[in-house]
Amino acid sequence: MIEVLAWLVLALPLLSCLALSLWPGEPPKAYTRAVGLGLPAIGFVLSAVIFAVLLGRDAGDRTEVSTLWNWVRSDTLSIDLALQIDPLSVLMMLVVTGVGSLIVWYSTEYMDHDRDYRRFFAELGFFLFSMLLLVMAANFFFLIVGWGLVGLASYLLIGFYYDKPSAVAASKKAFVINVIGDVGMVLAAFILVRELGTLDYGEVFAAAPGEMGMGTGVSEMVAILLFVGAAAKSAQIPLHTWLPDAMEGPTPVSALIHAATMVTAGVYMIVRSNVLYELAPYASDAVAIVGALTLLMAATIAFVQEDIKRILAWSTVSQIGYMIMAAGLGAYSAGMFHFLTHAFFKALLFLGAGIVIHALADQQSIDRMGGLKKHLRVAYLTMAVGCLAIAAIPPFSGFFSKDEIIAYSFAAGDLGVVLGIVGLVAGGLTAFYMFRLFFRVFHGPEPEGGYDVEHPHAPGPAMTIPVVVLAALAAVAGFLQVPEAWHPLEDWLAPAITAAPDLHPSGAQILISMIGGTALALAAIWFAHWMYVADPGRRLRMAGTLAGYRRLLHDQYRFDHAFEAAAVQPGRDLGDGLMATVERGGAQGIPTGVARAAILAGRGLRLAQTGLVRTYALAMVAGVAILGVIAILVVR
């Protein structure tokens, strides 16, 4: 029964996309709302039913594979169009359809005054379908298919305002970088096919330890190549530069795709492939280090951003760094736990930012905000919950999930200790930049010259209710896992995470992470308050300090410049060179030469066109005579 439900969950968003796309002309908004929101919401209900059914079974009996048909059959390789329903994919389904439905609901009001209402919801439906395919696939083949399709959906939605050059550039950038990741995934799949002859999850994970071996070059290579895909999709160094630019898309898109779901696909993939990563210790360490570096780098960049959505984008990069780090260190369930809470509070923060942006007529600079506390009461309170959650203040959800990651890191050897300290410090940085945003938007003086609108208007129910629901989830979701007390999420995921190392943080490690993290966060919040609220002028007086470093941060550590110099400009030069030589000389030169020869020949032959009928007759007779001679001499 749950197999049918699973296929329905996958099909409903696609159906919504098709029903909206194929409607002739612009459908009525009520229809768009009903279809665009209703079908994914039904998908969420069905996912919940699947979850309940699985919950009723024994832990060992919770994995089901449903094959629709055989997709590829060649010699020894056979690929099925199959879904895998297990605790991990059900968790992802619940988040994707649940948070997805909330954000679609929010969008019905947010996009109300925007253009292309239908296209927006059709593309959201397409994204939900792709994302569900990604998380429900039962083999690497359809994982990659979903991987590519979410990239396409992301491209379409970042470039939603397709007549805005910056949005188009951002969408192209996102697509190109994601394709780099896709190539890595595909190469990894090739190696798997060569080594194991299958792409099916079950078979791969069963055969990999025996066939590929522990710590061998092949295992490391597969893990690294898979991580290239994960790094591109989840915006890890050095493939992270697309995500901040992706904020060109509408805010609900940023919330859904570029914060809550798609960008965490890399985390999902690493957790799903935990068997492969446990076979590759060096690759896993590299993953963890990249995650930690990303975490630290993104947190610092967020210090100097002025665009509210870019701050949240860098914050997303940073938070995914936590998850990647946890996955690299073997704390898979901790990574998934942080994924879950992050989906709630980051979606909440984006939607709250969306309320602010909406209220200020699309103003995104926090310089033009301030003192909004009294105008946007709901946004103020919910954003406060979100900021406390991401800053890991107890008892909000981020406290439990982030501190669990740090505690597990301490338990994961020497490298883990170093990375755990990085995580702790970055937690403090996170608290600072989030409350910098919070204080500058909601507290402090109103901007000089007033807001861009007469009076910031409060949002309607369709925007308020999802935000409140998410705020409630962000506040309490942490209690899913309380250290030393209970850990239902870890138990739930256990059947899917078969190879996790046995990490047991000691009580001291847990205490250090909790107390240290909370103390740092509180100090950072106090600092932010001191700087931005206690004396609003202080910020301006301090603007000159650390100017060089601030410039580096503004340039976002010059990754874009480096790419420009290392890849884009050489590519452009190569193109120019080929244009000058191959194109002009060969590809274009040959046809032009042929055409010129034809023109010259025509000019010459024109002389034969005397217009005198008798010359034609004469030529014909002469030709026949010559042919006759040839025929007599040769044929006879």
**What gap in Å lies between CA 366 and CA 330, rounded to an integer?**
38
Q: Which of 476, 523, 542, 622 binds other proteins (CB under 8 A)?
A: 622
What phi and psi, each to the nearest 5 degrees, are found at residue 83? -110, 145
Q: Which is nearer to other proteins, 70 or 615 (CB)?
A: 615
At closest approach, how far in Å is the CB of 635 from other proteins?
11
Q: Which is nearer to other proteins, 77 or 622 (CB)?
A: 622
Q: Which is nearer to other proteins, 77 or 599 (CB)?
A: 599
Using CB under 8 A as the binding rule, whether residue 632 contacts other proteins is answered as: yes
**What gap in Å lies between CA 80 and CA 499, rounded to an integer?**
25
At closest approach, how far in Å is the CB of 603 from other proteins?
10
Cβ neighbours around 29 below 10 Å, total: 15
Q: Which residues contact 37 (CB under 8 A, 6 or more apart)?
A: 101, 104, 105, 108, 121
Q: 214 burial class (0-12, 13-18, 19+ CB within 10 angstroms)?
A: exposed
Contact 348, 474 (CB under 8 A): yes
Q: Give the H/E segment covering residue 454.
A: none
Stretch that binds other proteins, among 57-65, 100-108, 130-138, 619-627 (CB under 8 A): 619-627
Q: Which of 214, 508, 543, 624 binds other proteins (CB under 8 A)?
A: 624
SS3 314: helix
Q: Which is nearer to other proteins, 540 or 635 (CB)?
A: 635
Stretch that binds other proteins, among 67-75, 316-324, 526-534, 622-630 (CB under 8 A): 622-630
Q: Which is nearer to other proteins, 567 or 619 (CB)?
A: 619
SS3 365: strand
Using CB under 8 A as the binding rule, whether residue 22 contacts other proteins is answered as: no
With b for 16 or more beta-carbon neighbours within 10 A and e for fewer, the 264-286 pattern comes to: bbbbbbbbbbbbbbbbbeebbbb
At closest approach, how far in Å is the CB of 123 from other proteins?
59
Positions 404 through 463 that interact with other proteins (CB under 8 A): none
At closest approach, how far in Å is the CB of 630 from other proteins?
10
Stretch that binds other proteins, among 18-26, 323-331, 436-444, 625-633 (CB under 8 A): 625-633
Q: Which is nearer to other proteins, 361 or 624 (CB)?
A: 624
Provide the mask over 362-401, with x wherever binding to other proteins is found by CB under 8 A and - wherever it is not.
----------------------------------------
At closest approach, how far in Å is the CB of 606 from other proteins?
4
DSSP line for 465-522: HHHHHHHHHHHHGGGG-BTTTB-HHHHHHTTT--S-------HHHHHIIIIIHHHHHH
Q: Which is nearer to other proteins, 485 or 605 (CB)?
A: 605
At closest approach, how far in Å is the CB of 619 from other proteins?
9
Amino acid letter, residue 484: E
Q: Which is nearer to other proteins, 590 or 619 (CB)?
A: 619
Amino acid letter, residue 514: M
At closest approach, how far in Å is the CB of 587 from other proteins?
32
**What gap in Å lies between CA 472 and CA 3, rounded to an integer?**
31
At closest approach, how far in Å is the CB of 633 from other proteins?
10
At closest approach, how far in Å is the CB of 636 from other proteins?
7
Q: Which of 247, 509, 628, 634 binds other proteins (CB under 8 A)?
A: 628
Number of shown-chain residues binding other proteins (CB under 8 A): 22
Answer positive or negative: Cα dihedral of 131, 135, 137, 139.
positive
DSSP line for 257-306: IIIISGGGHHHHHHHHTHHHHHT-HHHHHHHHHHHHHHHHHHHHHTTT--
At closest approach, how far in Å is the CB of 574 from other proteins?
47
What phi and psi, each to the nearest 5 degrees, are found at residue 67? -100, 130
At closest approach, how far in Å is the CB of 595 from other proteins?
19
Cβ neighbours around 186 below 10 Å, total: 16
- Nearest partner of 268 among 215, 333, 313, 316, judged by Cα: 333
Q: Which is nearer to other proteins, 540 or 605 (CB)?
A: 605
**What gap in Å lies between CA 231 and CA 240, rounded to an integer?**
7
Q: Which is nearer to other proteins, 506 or 609 (CB)?
A: 609
Provide the mask over 170-209, with x wherever binding to other proteins is found by CB under 8 A and - wherever it is not.
----------------------------------------
Residues paired with residue 200 on neighbouring β-strands, in sequence order? 139
Positions 576 through 615 that interact with other proteins (CB under 8 A): 605-615
Query: What does the longest C-alpha to C-alpha distance in the chain come to?
Result: 114
Q: Which is nearer to other proteins, 547 or 635 (CB)?
A: 635
At closest approach, how far in Å is the CB of 628 from other proteins?
5
Residues paired with residue 139 on neighbouring β-strands, in sequence order? 200
Q: Which is nearer to other proteins, 581 or 610 (CB)?
A: 610
Q: Which of 113, 194, 541, 636 binds other proteins (CB under 8 A)?
A: 636
Q: Give the H/E segment covering residue 68.
A: strand 64-74
Cβ neighbours around 52 below 10 Å, total: 11
Where does this chain bind other proteins (CB under 8 A)? 605-615, 617-618, 621-622, 624-626, 628-629, 632, 636
